[in-house]
Amino acid sequence: MAAKAKSAMDIVKLARAADRLHLRDYMALIADDFTELHGDRLVKDDRGLIGGFASIGGVKCLVLGHNKGSTLEENLESNFGMANPDGYRKAMRLMSLAEKFHVPVVTFVDTPGAYPGREAEERGQAEAIAKSLEFSAALKTPILVVITGEGGSGGALAIAVGDRILMLENAIYSVISPEGCAGILWRDGAKAAEAAEALKVTAPDLDALGVIDGIVPEGKTREETAANVKKAIVATLKHLSSIPVADLVARRYAKFRAM
């Protein structure tokens, strides 16, 4: 109920907070094992988006996620969790492996957006995201999406096509950053709070809009929040794994078809 008192911009700030749990923190807290695999087999190993096989509460899965850091040093290495095309292509490569060996996929979404850089454009940022959407929409294995922090536009969406979409209590998910929207529609980036309100970016908003399937409550401690995420992952993957894969893919299509 405390969430009711917070403004949309308060939640945007919480979602972006440096001390928020990031992918590596989750892996340390909830995975019995996380074995990272590298590279897109084409150009390089993007550090903004990472992935590997993991065991969470005894459930084997492929984990993919934006690699936001908690310190400046980590963020310089991981590009603040902003993926290049190579990151999305690595994600597709690993998803193919998951499909081949019937392993479910869990994605951790936490990015300001896809990296807006010269080389990103040269290597086809648009094509990489487009292909990711088409590819994951038809993947023949379960996909669970967890929006843990900042769900920033197309860069988030590229790994947010799944059978279930969960969102942390203080995460956000938006078509454009509140600052970007304010800059265009208010002609004043400082009006971000108004834009955040108008865009409806919080978990309860997105739940009401029918875009997400559930909200994961955040605890008083990091351990408590991580435990909630773990519980949600284990229960959801168990359920999704019981659905015949052809039905799963058909339902996934229908799910986005209705949006």
Partner 1 sequence: MAWFELQEKKTKIPGAKALWTVCGRCRKYVPNAEWKKNSSVCPECGYHGRISARERIALLADEGTFEELFADVGYSDHLNFHDASGAYVDKVEAARKKTGEGESVITGKAAMEGIGVVLGAMDFAFMGGSLGTGTGEKITRAAELALAERRPFILACASGGARMQEGIRSLMQMVKTSAAIGRLKEAGIPYVSILTDPTTGGVSASYAMLGDINIAEPKVLIGFAGRRVIENTIHQKLPDDFQTAEYLLEHGFVDRIVPRNEMKSFIVKMLNYFGF
Nearest distance from C-beta of residue 104 to partner 1, angstroms: 19
**The tokens of 18 are what?**
């440096």
Nearest distance from C-beta of residue 61 to partner 1, angstroms: 22
Nearest distance from C-beta of residue 128 to partner 1, angstroms: 8
Binding residues with partner 1: total (CB under 8 A): 51
Nearest distance from C-beta of residue 211 to partner 1, angstroms: 5
In eight-state DSSP terms, residue 217 is P
What distance in Å separates the CA atoms of residue 215 and residue 228, rounded to the nearest whole number? 10
**Is 117 a residue that touches partner 1 (CB under 8 A)?**
yes
What distance in Å separates the CA atoms of residue 104 and residue 188, rounded to the nearest whole number? 43
**Is 171 a residue that touches partner 1 (CB under 8 A)?**
no
**Is 247 a residue that touches partner 1 (CB under 8 A)?**
no
What distance in Å separates the CA atoms of residue 231 and residue 32, rounded to the nearest whole number? 14
Nearest CA to 36 among 85, 73, 91, 80? 91
Nearest distance from C-beta of residue 162 to partner 1, angstroms: 10
Beta strands 214-216 and 31-37 are: unpaired
| CA angle, 73 then 74 then 75, to 5° | 90
Q: How many Cβ atoms sit within 10 Å of the Cβ of residue 231? A: 13
**Which region among 93-101, 178-186, 215-223, 240-248 touches partner 1 (by CB under 8 A)?**
178-186
Nearest distance from C-beta of residue 186 to partner 1, angstroms: 4
- Residues between 81 and 100 with contacts to partner 1, criterion CB under 8 A: none
Asked whether the beta carbons of 168 and 229 are under 8 A apart, the reply is yes
**Is 157 a residue that touches partner 1 (CB under 8 A)?**
yes
Residue from 174, 196, 225, 248 that binds partner 1 (CB under 8 A)? 174
| CA angle, 140 then 145 then 151, to 5° | 135
- Binding-site ranges for partner 1 (CB under 8 A): 114-118, 120-127, 129-131, 133-135, 137-138, 153-154, 157-158, 161, 173-176, 181, 184-188, 191, 194-195, 198-201, 206, 209, 211, 252-253, 256-257, 259
